[in-house]
Copies of this chain bind each other. A is one copy, B any other.
């Protein structure tokens, strides 16, 4: 499938790009630090398989936190919501994504939601399989169906870099282990989780995943119900209440669509029934969201009245 370059979209990208100066690329992972902070690309994938783009939509990036929605969808379909929500809560939190405080102050100790790191780690620990490889393959195969792209894999360099530095994530796993919320081997899950975060794709692939959510789980190309309706709805709800870190509330007001961001600068957005959006803009704001990506979505939301509220 080819994605058509679109001039109107290109003009919006150009306008949004102006804010990249005020952002910074994530510096704590060497591979991410190499990104060009002035990059910005967007793809819009419609439910009728039309695709529009602006910027270099072939450039790949790692999913990082965007992967949290996909592992959640997989695990929810596997175990059902009752079991999954016995391990992780459903409430947004005003705390940063890597805060450990509420694990101590909230009783019983369980992560407030699956979009913060503690919650995402528990979700990943629930991915089925006997070995890390088997579990990763299971997740990758799901993501390949979502993108309808068999080439999707993860970036070894980024995964290794994160594996060797993610000490706060380890801290959270052990903390939750004390209370039985996290039952798996910590290092195995760290291995799986950092590979999950390092899964690579481009804006176009990401837009296509968004379109699957827009169609309530049905793939616009293959027609396959890749995600069950109920699970698609739950995931979109989490994207609204806590998809953009602790800027989710402001984003809901300014943009008003389900979206999930990652520190590599990716954002997946969803306009219900209509289309999915894939954005890559590595310069981040202070909350960890793509600064130009958010700006672009604001412009688009206002122009095309995208808000679901």
- The distance from the CB of A218 to the nearest CB of chain B, in whole angstroms, is 16
Q: Known contacts A171-B171, A240-B241: does B309 contact A250 (CB below 8 Å)?
A: no
Complex CA–CA separation, A17 to B183 (angstroms): 38
Q: Known contacts A171-B174, A241-B248: does B100 contact A104 (CB below 8 Å)?
A: yes
A94 contacts the other chain (CB 8 A): yes
Q: How many chain-A residues does the 8 Å CB contact rule pick out?
A: 49
Question: In the complex, what residues of B have CB within 8 A of residue A2's CB?
Answer: none
Q: Known contacts A105-B101, A309-B237: does B113 contact A249 (CB below 8 Å)?
A: yes
A188 contacts the other chain (CB 8 A): no
Number of copies: 4
A11 contacts the other chain (CB 8 A): no
- The distance from the CB of A104 to the nearest CB of chain B, in whole angstroms, is 6
Complex CA–CA separation, A256 to B81 (angstroms): 16
Question: In the complex, what residues of B have CB within 8 A of residue A234's CB?
Answer: 253, 309
Question: In the complex, what residues of B have CB within 8 A of residue A242's CB?
Answer: 92, 249
Proximity string of chain A (85-103) to chain B, C-beta cutoff 8 Å, 1 when within and 0 when not: 0000111111100011111
A258 contacts the other chain (CB 8 A): yes
Contact of A253 among B167, B237, B272 (CB under 8 A): B237
A175 contacts the other chain (CB 8 A): yes
A168 contacts the other chain (CB 8 A): yes
Question: In the complex, what residues of B have CB within 8 A of residue A256's CB?
Answer: 233, 237
A48 contacts the other chain (CB 8 A): no
Q: Known contacts A92-B92, A100-B104, A253-B90: does B175 contact A240 (CB below 8 Å)?
A: no
Pair B92/A249 contact, Cβ less than 8 Å: yes
Complex CA–CA separation, A102 to B103 (angstroms): 13
Proximity string of chain A (166-202) to chain B, C-beta cutoff 8 Å, 1 when within and 0 when not: 0110111111011000000000000000000000000
A106 contacts the other chain (CB 8 A): yes
Q: Which 7 A-B pairs rank lowest in CB-CB distance, beginning with the nearest? A: A167-B178, A93-B94, A92-B92, A171-B175, A91-B249, A171-B174, A170-B174
Q: Could you show 26 A-B contacts with beta carbons less than 8 Å apart?
A: A90-B249, A90-B250, A90-B253, A92-B92, A92-B93, A92-B94, A94-B102, A100-B104, A101-B104, A105-B105, A167-B174, A167-B177, A170-B171, A170-B177, A171-B173, A234-B309, A236-B309, A237-B253, A237-B307, A238-B253, A241-B241, A241-B252, A242-B249, A258-B309, A272-B309, A308-B308
